[in-house]
Amino acid sequence: MNEFYRRYPTGSIVSDLLQIHDGLFIVKTTLLVGDTVLATGMAAAPTLEQAEDSARQRALQLLGIHLPVQTEAELIPRPPAALEAAPWSEASNTELLLEPTTPPSPRRSKSASEKPPTKREPVDLADEIAQTTAEMKRLGWTEAQGRACLLERYGKRSRQQLTDEELLDFLHFLRSQPSASEPSF
């Protein structure tokens, strides 16, 4: 991504989770300079991180920028079995049309002049957000019911607006609720 920021010093990379469909996270990444869209990329994967990485890579490739290859050890671990999806097949998802991911370019070695970033990265709670989605499905909640609960408990309309502590509290709250099929007595 250094190449992107070298070419476009005022550029930004924005990734949006569009949908979770059949256990796949669908992400769109947009490359911008100001309000001008340079390129976009979409991808679907069983983890949010993999989908975001693939979408970002696809968008950067449209600008002729290739990211280094990630090894299996560098990938984020898969989610627990409860959140894993069955393998995606075109036959089972006729309404969802996505391009297959292209293999990444060969890994380039780091030069001695490249320094690791000094900024502390924010904590990634994407797995916890995905778990809250799974819990709300278990409870049979609609999007409106989830939003109403967030407004009542935290005064916020979206899980993305919650602090780390609030998100973890919300997840704990959802897990403590009986399933829609369980008796409540």
Angle at 127 between CA 123 and CA 128, to 5 degrees: 85
Q: Is 90 exceeded by the pLDDT of residue 29?
A: yes
Distance CA 89, CA 12 (A): 33
pLDDT tens per residue, range 41-61: 999 999 999 999 889 999 998
Residue 58, CA distances (Å) to 25, 41, 46, 114 in order: 16, 5, 17, 24
Q: What is the pTM of this model?
A: 0.40
89 bridge partner residues? none
Q: Is 115 helix (H, G, I), strand (E, B) or coil?
A: coil
Residue 164 banded pLDDT, cuts 50, 70, 90: confident
Distance CA 29, CA 56 (A): 5
Q: Is 70 exceeded by the pLDDT of residue 159?
A: yes
* CB contact set of 68 (below 8 Å; sequence gap of 6+): 104, 105, 106, 107, 108
Position 123 scores a pLDDT of: 58
CA distance from start to end of the chain? 54
pLDDT tens per residue, range 165-176: 888 899 899 999
Distance CA 148, CA 115 (A): 46
Nearest CA to 174 out of 124, 125, 123, 134 is that of 134
pLDDT tens per residue, range 74-130: 444 444 444 444 444 444 444 444 444 444 444 444 444 555 555 444 556 778 888
Distance CA 175, CA 185 (A): 17
Q: What CATH number was assigned to the domain covering residues 2-92?
A: 3.30.160.20
Domain ranges of the chain: 2-92, 126-176
